[in-house]
């Protein structure tokens, strides 16, 4: 089960990182 679950966990992690980055870029753009 762990091996099958790993890709989804990594995907969710990557998405959250991308969302954080997008927010940071937006904040910089508004300066």
Once rounded to an integer, what is the mean pLDDT over residues 23-29?
97
Q: Which residue has the higher pLDDT, 28 or 8?
A: 28
Q: Give the percent of the chain with pLDDT over 90.
A: 61
The pLDDT of residue 15: 94
- Indicate the pTM of the whole model: 0.59
pLDDT at 2 over 80: no
DSSP assignment of 1-31: -HHHHHHHHHHHHHHHHHHHHHHHHHHHHH-
Q: Which residue has the higher pLDDT, 21 or 4?
A: 21
pLDDT at 11 over 80: yes
């Amino acid at each position: 089960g762990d091996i099958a679950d790993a890709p989804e966990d990594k995907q969710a992690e990557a998405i959250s990182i991308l969302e954080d980055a997008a927010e940071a870029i937006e904040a910089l753009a508004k300066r």
